[in-house]
């Protein structure tokens, strides 16, 4: 400028002597540098999702290059309110220094948009020079002084991938059996006399839950379930109802429902059992949730019910805009029909029972496995709790018309542990997250099926068997098109050892179960003789 005459020599010397201040900002190192650390799991899910999309290149290198230098503006599907609620409610229940991980995933029914992914972990690489992580809870790794993944980890604990193959979630898988049964003509009212222990026809190697060479599960607490239908069986989580129900429907059909609802088989054992029809047919424990799954998968599976049977692929994207300001048609909802709307609505109706809501089409009975949820949330909800064998994991899924939240309490470092996972930790985290999300929003109910047959089936009258012989009562009931068995003893004015009546009485579904009640040979004397004085104080 001096040579060209634009400035004087004095001005040039002054300009040269002036120090130029510089503000240097180091670029963030991926998802560990997000604005809030607990957003890291969502960021990582988005990053992995992007690298899996062929629309952004033929190789992961090309896709990553376009992500970092393509000039895209990405609006994710993360709901800041839901994400914050999930992390806050996790923090109220468990420390990030605990070896057990409390994982919450939330997704929107009908779109597949992922709304929250949170854990009691820092999304951070542990510094090997100054490690914060504790020694692994896996005894084999602990002997080698290998550190675990708490409090710092970048593993995809909620979404799976790499070495993360998922976790057994327990009885939340019973929903798939219920859907398969409904698809194959079994109505919600279909009843089974659920014993304390059920000897199935599934052949397995001898173990804890076997009777000889056959799989024979029992119920939590060891008691019998009694005459149970899908409403009461799902509400009380009766193992000895769902295993025979799966047996009658076909386990391979139940496995197929799980696949349609988005469950992926990541372990080799699950693949071997789930990907061939013959092997799946013998997978007796499948209905009890022995297959590995992730919180995001199961949140989306339950969201499929509120989505009227439409399964929507999970997406972390709300909108992507190119550097030319064009909207990219990637990440938008991609939905397929997983089951009919009537099946989804009927299954959802029964799924209202475990979480304390009321079914529209039938009766939930008295016991609920997570019955406090409805009173806390105050909106129409559905869902299911789950516990695996020996309590190694605990889970709860709660859905509404606008959000499904799945919570898992697991030990990601050592799943073969002997700790008892507590529903007192996972349940409040899930229902309080849903409560925070729905607060101030309108209450939206659920649709009924178009046909009543899917709930009550084809009803038939049960014949009167009062005071008949047990053999005669069974013959009379079975000739009317029902399955009969001998039930409990009750007080009756019929002779001892004869039939006192049936449970249920009146009418029930065609081919349904009818229990013959046996008379003890004594009636309620007060009721039998109205002239007899009542005992003092009785009205």
pLDDT score recorded for residue 30: 86
156 vs 505, residue with greater confidence:
156
Q: How confident is the model at residue 130 (pLDDT cuts 50, 70, 90)?
A: very high
Dihedral over Cα of 183, 184, 185, 187: its sign = negative
Domain ranges of the chain: 167-453, 458-528
Whether residue 422 is preceded by a cis peptide bond, meaning omega within 30 degrees of 0, is no
Give the list of residues 6+ apart from residue 242 with CB closer than 8 angstroms, or none.
Answer: 171, 174, 177, 178, 233, 287, 288
CATH number for the domain running over 167-453? 3.40.710.10
Are the C-beta atoms of residues 80 and 39 closer than 8 Å to each other? no
Query: Rounded mean pLDDT of 260-280?
Result: 96
Give the pair of three-digit tokens for residue 156.
Answer: 């995809």
Calpha distance 28→185 (Å, rounded): 56
pLDDT score recorded for residue 109: 99
- Residue tagged 């003893």 (tokens): 489
**Exposure class string for 313-330: b at 16+ Cβ within 10 A, else e:** ebbbbeebeeeeeeebeb
Q: How confident is the model at residue 16 (pLDDT cuts 50, 70, 90)?
A: confident
Quick check: 22 pLDDT over 80?
no
SS3 of 491, please? coil
Query: Rounded mean pLDDT of 379-390?
Result: 95
Query: Rounded mean pLDDT of 413-438?
Result: 96
SS3 of 335, please? strand
* Percentage, residues of the chain above pLDDT 90: 80
Question: Could you report the per-residue pLDDT of 468-514, keeping only the tens digit for each?
Answer: 999 999 999 999 988 888 888 999 999 999 999 998 888 888 878 88
Q: Are strands 513-519 and 483-490 parallel, antiparallel or unpaired?
A: parallel
Is CATH 3.30.10.20 the right assignment for the domain spanning 458-528? yes
Q: How confident is the model at residue 197 (pLDDT cuts 50, 70, 90)?
A: very high
Cα-based angle 292, 296, 302 (whole degrees, multiple of 5): 90
pLDDT score recorded for residue 25: 56
Q: How confident is the model at residue 27 (pLDDT cuts 50, 70, 90)?
A: low
Calpha distance 350→343 (Å, rounded): 11
Find, among 292, 270, 251, 313, the residue nearest to 388 by Cα.
292
Q: How confident is the model at residue 98 (pLDDT cuts 50, 70, 90)?
A: very high
**Exposure class string for 24-43: b at 16+ Cβ within 10 A, else e:** eeeeeeebbebeeebbbbbb
Find, among 196, 172, 90, the residue nearest to 354 by Cα.
172
DSSP symbols for 416-459: T------HHHHHHHHHHHHHHHHTTSPP---PPPS-THHHH-SE
Quick check: 128 pLDDT over 80?
yes
Question: Could you report the per-residue pLDDT of 57-86, keeping only the tens digit for each?
Answer: 999 999 999 999 999 999 999 999 999 999
Quick check: 403 pLDDT over 60?
yes
Largest CA distance in the chain: 128
pLDDT score recorded for residue 529: 47
Query: Rounded mean pLDDT of 85-93?
Result: 99
Are the C-beta atoms of residues 484 and 532 closer than 8 Å to each other? no
- Residue tagged 């376009």 (tokens): 66
> What pTM value is reported for the model?
0.87
Q: How confident is the model at residue 291 (pLDDT cuts 50, 70, 90)?
A: very high
How many residues does this entry show for the chain?
539
Quick check: 314 pLDDT over 60?
yes
Give the list of residues 6+ apart from residue 373 with CB closer than 8 angstroms, or none.
Answer: 355, 356, 357, 381, 383, 398, 427, 430, 431, 434
* Percentage, residues of the chain above pLDDT 70: 95
Quick check: 527 pLDDT over 50?
no
pLDDT score recorded for residue 337: 98
DSSP symbols for 96-110: TTSSSEEEEEEE-TT
Least reliable range by pLDDT among 84-93, 250-259, 518-527: 518-527
Task: Please give the helix or strand (H or E) that residue 16 lies within, else none.
Answer: helix 9-17
The mean pLDDT value of the chain amounts to 93
Bridge partner residues of 409 (DSSP): 102, 394
Task: Please give the helix or strand (H or E) that residue 297 lies within, else none.
Answer: helix 295-306
pLDDT score recorded for residue 535: 40
């Amino acid at each position: 400028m001096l040579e060209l005459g634009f400035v004087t020599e004095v001005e040039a010397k002054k300009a040269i002597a002036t120090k130029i201040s510089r503000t240097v900002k180091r670029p963030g190192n991926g998802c560990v540098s997000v604005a809030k650390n607990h957003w890291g799991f969502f960021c990582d899910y988005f990053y992995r999702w992007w690298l899996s999309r062929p629309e952004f290149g033929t190789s992961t290198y090309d896709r990553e290059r376009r992500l970092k230098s393509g000039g895209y503006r990405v609006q994710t599907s993360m709901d800041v309110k839901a994400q914050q609620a999930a992390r806050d409610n996790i923090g109220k229940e468990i420390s990030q220094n605990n070896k057990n991980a409390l994982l919450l995933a939330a997704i929107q029914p009908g779109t597949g948009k992922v709304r929250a992914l949170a854990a009691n972990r820092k999304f951070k690489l542990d510094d090997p020079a100054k490690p914060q992580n504790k020694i692994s809870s896996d005894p084999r790794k602990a002997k080698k002084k290998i550190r675990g993944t708490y409090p710092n980890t970048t593993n995809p604990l909620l979404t799976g991938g790499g070495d993360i193959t998922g976790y057994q979630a327990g009885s939340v898988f019973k929903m798939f059996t219920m859907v398969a049964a409904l698809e194959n003509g079994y109505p919600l009212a279909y009843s089974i006399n659920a014993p304390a222990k059920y000897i199935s026809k599934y052949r397995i190697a001898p173990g804890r839950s076997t009777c000889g060479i056959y799989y024979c599960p029992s119920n939590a607490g060891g008691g019998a379930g009694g005459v149970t239908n899908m409403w009461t069986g799902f509400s009380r989580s009766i193992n000895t109802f769902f295993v025979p129900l799966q047996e009658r429907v076909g386990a391979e059909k139940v496995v197929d429902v799980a696949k349609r609802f988005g469950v992926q088989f990541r372990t080799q054992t699950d693949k071997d059992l789930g990907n061939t029809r013959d092997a799946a047919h013998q997978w007796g424990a499948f209905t009890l949730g022995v297959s590995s799954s992730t919180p995001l998968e199961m949140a989306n599976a339950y969201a499929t019910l509120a989505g009227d049977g439409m399964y929507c692929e999970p997406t972390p994207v709300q909108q992507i805009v190119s550097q030319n300001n064009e909207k990219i048609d990637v990440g938008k909802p991609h939905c397929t029909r997983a089951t009919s709307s009537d099946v989804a609505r009927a299954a959802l109706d029964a799924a209202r029972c475990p979480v304390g809501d009321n079914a529209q089409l039938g009766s939930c009975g008295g016991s609920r496995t997570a019955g406090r949820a409805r009173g806390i949330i105050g909106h129409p909800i559905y869902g299911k709790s789950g516990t695996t064998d020996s309590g190694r994991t605990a889970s709860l899924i709660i859905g509404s018309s606008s959000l499904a939240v799945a919570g898992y309490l697991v030990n990601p470092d050592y799943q073969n542990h002997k700790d008892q996972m507590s529903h007192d930790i996972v349940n409040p985290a899930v229902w309080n997250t849903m409560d925070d999300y729905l607060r101030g929003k309108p209450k939206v109910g659920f649709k009924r099926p178009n046909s009543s047959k899917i709930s009550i089936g084809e009803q038939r009258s049960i014949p009167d068997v009062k005071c008949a012989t047990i053999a005669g009562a069974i013959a009379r009931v079975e000739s009317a098109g029902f399955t009969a068995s001998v039930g409990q003893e009750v007080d009756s004015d019929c002779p001892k050892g004869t039939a006192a009546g049936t449970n249920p009485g009146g009418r029930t579904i065609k081919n349904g179960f009818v229990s013959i009640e046996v008379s003890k040979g004594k009636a309620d004397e007060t009721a039998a003789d109205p002239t007899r004085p009542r005992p003092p104080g009785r009205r």
